[in-house]
Structure 1
Amino acid sequence: MTKDTTDDRIPVTLLTGFLGAGKTTLLNHLIRDPEAGRIAVIMNEFGDVGLDHDLIEESTEETILMQSGCICCSIRGDLLEALGKLIARRNNGSLAFDRIVIETTGIADPGPILHSLVVDQLVGPCFRMDGVVTLADAATGAGILQQQSEAVNQIAMSDLIILSKTDLVSTIDLARFETQIAGINGSARRIRADHGRVPPGVLFGLSAMRSTVTSDEVSNWLGVSVPQPNPLVGLSGFTPKQIQPVTLPFTQSQSPAHHNHKINSASIDVQEPIPANVFDFWLDTLIALKGPDILRMKGIVHVEGIDWPFVFHGVQHIFDAPVPLESWTGEGTTSRVVVIARDMSKEDLVASLELLRMQPKEVDVATEGMMVQTAEMPF
């Protein structure tokens, strides 16, 4: 792969969160903040609690609102049309903006929107996903996560989780809620909003899928230094062979829909460079067998025979093109992979990741380029 020294695609931030979590409140504060820069906003109809109309009129050169309908359970043509119109207006000089924020409905699954930015041939080359930000209501979120699969998916696919309404719950209940969130997605950074306010800088630059990314940014993206409310919660930050299960703060019988018990996350560190055929075999097989259930996968991989690492990211069976970090200055050759999956047991997920430790002789490549499997996936 050739070095990508520039990436002039427009960064897109996906703002999700279940009904009533405070997405629009956060957006109202965001577009008032001069440090946020010039933002184009795509959201649903105004409704009763939409963005301030006067504010939108005052900010027409920097922030726009498009009533693009329900961005919900499938890739919607109106979303792609809205993105196409935005890029056309930017190109002809009638609108100036530096990034886009898409606010989804409370019941939206982020997956189809992430897919559209990768696979659509018209808008895909113009935009890149900068990060998925999810608001989680501390007052009602624990119950919602037990009952609503969409809310669980929003947490699972997040790069950043913003805890809202933390002033309405006790310290103990808040800690339990954070533990519940970490059990779904232990690699996402978590911050607390102050009545809908957060520093604009924390919302942007979340993805490490950039050729100029630093080692610290990759570590933050993969959750290596993410603070946990409980040292036994989540997998991020453990040493390579200390992959441990997460204990959630309720039992199976206490969760009517059992959604949390279908979501598991795991991570692995491999200290030595991974043979290319081992990594390809592992990834191809996992996608073929469990692609629809892979909610999120991301990592940095050092490949044998290549002087620089790659970062990669995927949602279900759709993956961005891996980005080579040819100017990488980080020390060591440790690869790190994080997987968040549905309907896979913790043991199976960990066993799958352990295949990355295989030696080259355990996977053979046929002369026709087909993979010959000599080790079996655990599911």
Structure 2
Amino acid sequence: MGIPITVISGFLGSGKTTLINQVIKGSDLAPEEVVIIENEFGEAGIDHELLIHSKENIVQMNGGCICCSLRGDLLNALTAVLDVFVTQGYPIKQVIIETSGVSDPQPIIQTIVGTPNLQPYFYLDGVIGVVDAENIEQNLQHHEATKQLVMSDRLLISQKGVTNKDSMNQMKEQLREINPLADIYEFSLIQSSSELADLVLGNHLFNQSIDDEEEDHHHHHHEFESMIISESGYVKEGLLHNWLSWLMMNYQESIYRIKGFVNVSDQDFQTEIQGVNQLLNFNLTNRLTEDNDNKLVIIGKNIDKDDINQAFQLVIEKSTEGD
């Protein structure tokens, strides 16, 4: 299946680096089995002094961890990791990418899941969004911070600065409005390192199923919005692909995430759709079509929910014509 990649995202000052240090400490992995890829080395980087520096901007830390500075593109960085370490016998079992505080994780996701040459060696385990509870309102005024939340599979809220349970619940509801696909956990750096490692690594979050209990309503944030399509019936495969092509053509860069399950005609099991922007993946699941409805979650901006819903309903109607 390849080496899992976990992307750690979060706005400036959210505590990404501190969390990564704790996760590395608490995981079952030996230091030399973990590769860290950072956007750039900073004064307060991963918690080890640099030991070795190479032309590929890859270093090994004195604690054993490997660190790669993402000064070029991610494909080059991952290729360098393979060339310099895997071919030399390093037993790499995990890659962690720490994005900069103002970067958009979407191109990183697209590179990992959309580059055929990487597929034999790496897979995306999940995108973790670290949320600074103390400064969330201020941070959400920035497009970059909100986009990081939208692209995350799991959101970890730092408990620092949250004084009561009601405030935390309100914050969680606010985050669900921005990204109904993500599961949400609170965390504290006084938690055991092993607990934090369990929250971050090895959970196959990118490919996890959407919550069947998610209510069929729309969420709206001042910049992003989400919708849920929930319909019974079956869709013909060709018509489904036509609908997806129409969706991507009409909304282009406005669709950030699409995820869910559809009942394809003449198939006993549901097909899972996983999309990041224009990149779509399809997988056959073990969910019986006769027991489940079509359900898709779409997150984007300036999307016409009625238009999209009606188009999908038309696909179902046309799929049943002549039956």
**TM superposition score normalised by structure 1:** 0.72
Question: In structure 2, what is the Cα distance between the partners aligned to 1:36 and 1:310?
Answer: 34
Unmatched 5+ stretches in structure 2: 51-59
1:151 aligned residue (135, 145, 150):
145
Question: In structure 1, what is the Cα distance between the partners aligned to 2:252 and 2:268?
Answer: 30
Unmatched 5+ stretches in structure 1: 1-7, 70-75, 210-216, 226-236, 249-259, 364-379
1:171 aligned residue (136, 154, 165):
165
Query: Offset at 1:163?
Result: 0.4
Aligned to 1:190: 184
Q: In the alignment, is residue 23 of structure 1 matched against residue 16 of structure 2?
A: yes
Aligned to 2:196: 199
- Kindly report which structure 2 residues correspond to 1:107-126, keeping only aligned pairs within 5 A, or say none: 107-126=102-121
Question: In structure 2, what is the Cα distance between the partners aligned to 1:199 and 1:41?
Answer: 17
CA RMSD between the two structures: 2.8
C-alpha change, 1:156 and 1:34, in structure 2 (3 Å) is closer
Aligned to 2:36: 41
The structure that is strand-richer by fraction is 2
C-alpha change, 1:338 and 1:283, in structure 2 (3 Å) is same
SS state at 1:268 partner = strand
Question: In structure 2, what is the Cα distance between the partners aligned to 1:208 and 1:9?
Answer: 15
Paired residue total: 307
- 8 Å contact from structure 2 (residues 48, 63) kept in 1: no
Question: In structure 1, what is the Cα distance between the partners aligned to 2:190 and 2:84?
Answer: 30
- 8 Å contact from structure 1 (residues 267, 353) kept in 2: no
Query: Offset at 1:332?
Result: 1.6
1:28-83 deviations in Å (ceiling 9; x for gaps): 001111335632111133323211115973542xx3111223xxxxxx53x22210
Amino acid at match of 1:200: A
C-alpha change, 1:57 and 1:280, in structure 2 (3 Å) is closer
Aligned to 2:247: 286
2:67 aligned residue (52, 62, 65):
65
**TM superposition score normalised by structure 2:** 0.84
1:133-157 deviations in Å (ceiling 9; x for gaps): 1011111112211x21111111111
C-alpha change, 1:328 and 1:346, in structure 2 (3 Å) is closer
Aligned to 2:317: 358
* Percentage of identical aligned residues: 26
C-alpha change, 1:119 and 1:208, in structure 2 (3 Å) is closer
C-alpha change, 1:301 and 1:150, in structure 2 (3 Å) is same
